[in-house]
Amino acid sequence: MASRSEASTALPEPSKGLSGIVAADTTLSFIDGEKGILKYCGYGIDDLAASSSFEEVVCLLYDRSLPSRERLAGMRARIGAARVLPSEVKQVIEQLAGRTSPMSTLRTVVSALGHYESNVPLKELPPKALRLVGQIAAAVAMIHRLREGQAPIEANPERGHAADFLHMLLGREVTETQARALDLYLILLADHGFNASTFSGRVTAGTLANLHSAITSSVGTLSGPLHGGANEKAMEMIIKVGSPDNAAEWVAERIAAKKRIMGFGHRVYKVDDPRAPHLKASSRALWEERGDTTLFETSVAIEQAVKAAKPLITNVDFYSATLLYGLDIPTDLFTPLFAMSRVAGWTAHVLEQYGDNRLIRPRARYVGKADRTYVPLKQR
């Protein structure tokens, strides 16, 4: 390695990937990775999974308290009314759908939506942030319909967010089990501390850039296979393995080749992700309703084989994969679906950042060559 400059060696040892660094306080979610605990604003994820809805979780994240019945009804109506897009943004989707990946179209759509919102003071920002929650769902449904050559379906604000989205995407009524499965998915992925996409949104907001710039950063960050893109890769793996009988051999080969297995491992959790058992149970129910549990049983066999071979934990993306696929959602829409949930947390975090802002600006330790003499171009 090159010699280090004196100034740089005076800096503390960097934490690669900011591992273990506490960057700020939050009142949104609490994670205990050793014990496998996740809470939103003090409410355990198990209780929220059992009894709440996505709209109720959005209220919780925005207000830091559970809503009254009136507040929840108002929230449902506002998110429902926001499941529409400005006509200019629809034109953007018409240009891009089917030509780029849905996640890349979604990133452009979020950026474009910023053109149709005025800059407003902090106290007026929550309604604008909330609109994004509805608009992202509308955009994901429209991207898919158009690339399939189908007409977009208008929102019905009377329906719950999950059920209406599925109707807008698939063009059919869904069963209670299906609507509940997606609602559960949206609840469980809504917030998760300073995960990479939330953190990048907060970094952007920390410069006092506007809301849409921050959420565009978040969407871009979510797209990578080590973060939100892992669910898509996990499903591709389960389809490839194809049968529980093939799982042990496939996993052994993968581990021998020192390749990562998507849906396993986590920076924070040292035990199974507390969201995984809820997603697994819901996924099982969906596949049982479909009458063919082969892919679900394949995922269970992969999980067993991975755990027998390596001390890896199951993360949120693994059973998200079979849950979403069991809803007839194509794999390249998995990460956009993740964004559709996480936008609740992203926007709540961006509002929290604006509310008590300080520019986020860590140091880098320079380890390149020191004190070099400049050589003019004609002498090189």
> Could you list the residues that contact ligand ACO (CB under 6 A)?
17, 226-227, 230, 260-267, 312, 315-317
Tell how strand 29-32 and strand 37-40 pair up: antiparallel
**Closer CB to ligand ACO, residue 262 or residue 286?**
262
State the minimum distance, in angstroms, from the CB of residue 75 to ligand ACO.
Answer: 25
**Closer CB to ligand ACO, residue 216 or residue 315?**
315
State the minimum distance, in angstroms, from the CB of residue 106 to ligand ACO.
Answer: 17
State the minimum distance, in angstroms, from the CB of residue 16 to ligand ACO.
Answer: 8
- Closest residue to ligand ACO, based on beta-carbon distance: 265
State the minimum distance, in angstroms, from the CB of residue 29 to ligand ACO.
Answer: 13
**Among candidate residues 276, 261, 135, 126, the one with its CA nearest the CA of residue 192:** 276
Torsion angle of alpha carbons 327, 328, 329, 330, nearest 10°?
150
Residues with catalytic roles: 227, 266, 317
Give the type of residue at 155: A
Backbone φ/ψ region at 365: left (φ over 0), alpha (ψ -120 to 50), beta: beta
Query: What does each C-alpha distance from 373 to 322, 369, 370, 376 come to in angstroms?
Result: 59, 11, 10, 10
Backbone φ/ψ region at 19: left (φ over 0), alpha (ψ -120 to 50), beta: beta
**Closer CB to ligand ACO, residue 210 or residue 335?**
335
**Closer CB to ligand ACO, residue 33 or residue 126?**
33
* 93 close to 44: Cβ distance less than 8 angstroms: no
* 3-state SS class at 259: coil
Q: How far apart are CA 33 and CA 320, in angstroms?
A: 19
Name residues whose C-beta falls within 8 Å of residue 12's C-beta, 6 or more positions apart in sequence. Answer: none
**Closer CB to ligand ACO, residue 21 or residue 73?**
21
State the minimum distance, in angstroms, from the CB of residue 355 to ligand ACO.
Answer: 26
